[in-house]
Amino acid sequence: MTGLPPRALRARRLTAWSRMGGARLNAPGQRGLTLIEISIALLIVALLLLVAVPSIEAVAGVRAREEAGRLSGAIRYLYGQSALTGKTCRLRFDLDEQSYSAQCTEQRFTVSGTPEKSRDGRKIDEEEDRSISRTTYSVQDELLGSSQALREKVEKAADFSDFTDEEIQPRKMPEGANLAVWTARQTERYTSGEAFIYFFPQGHTERAQVYVSDDAGDDVYTLIVSPLSGKVRVEFGDIAEPSK
């Protein structure tokens, strides 16, 4: 027994049932509101991610710029190293692997004035090159004497070995950064195979341009090498090769 009058007891029970009914009636509305809140929260998270996370293209552009600066330093350093040590050095580019490394030789070395043979942005393979060279030697020996043939033979015979120190190490381009190379010996820009920039102990190098770009080709940096000073000017954009 509660001790309440019958009328008060009925009113109390009615109030309790009303509350229970109200809860049941409001339950669907509460679930809908929760879904709306989740949708709003997801929208806010998506907007934050869009603002906070840089795009893949932007990251690739930054990498290309950083690699252009690093490669510029390697070229200047190898130019100075050749002049100081009296060795002929070269920067070797493996465009298939997208990497570069330094090599030097103490042997006598000259670069042929004959343009390299290439096809589709790639120097012809060594076997074909040797076949053409042998024919060239024979013709030059008969018509012009042996001086040009000797220079080319010296070029073929020089033994280059890898050179590394704290300032210059073999480097593979990171994902999203790509290399292409042009020198005065080439008839076209190389995008595959091997390419070389030579540095001579007399204090000069080759006229050359190296291109560092992102995968999309939107961000391109052209490294223009001065043959007399070894200085490198980095320009934004794809600068055309100098005309012969």
Which pTM was predicted? 0.68
Helix (H) or strand (E) holding 181: strand 177-183
Residues 180 and 226 in one domain: yes
Determine what percent of the chain falls in helix, strand and coil, rounding each to the nearest 5: 45, 25, 35
Q: Using 50 as the pLDDT threshold, list the residues of the chain that sit under it.
A: 1, 17, 22-26, 128, 131-146, 150, 154
Summarised one tens digit per residue, pLDDT across range 3-54 is: 656 665 565 665 654 555 544 444 555 555 577 888 888 888 887 767 655 5
Q: Which two tokens stand for residue 155?
A: 């070029």
CA distance 150 to 140: 10
Residues 194 and 93 in one domain: yes
Q: Tally the residues of the chain.
A: 244
Q: Which domain holds residue 96?
A: 61-109+158-236
Q: Which two tokens stand for residue 1?
A: 């027994």
Residues 46 and 82 in one domain: no
pLDDT at residue number 139 = 40
Residues 11 and 83 in one domain: no
In the 3-class helix/strand/coil scheme, how is 36-95 assigned residue by residue? HHHHHHHHHHHHHHHHHCCCHHHHHHHHHHHHHHHHHHHHHHHHHHHHHHCCEEEEEEEC
pLDDT at residue number 237 = 95
pLDDT at residue number 101 = 97
Domain presence at residue 141 = no
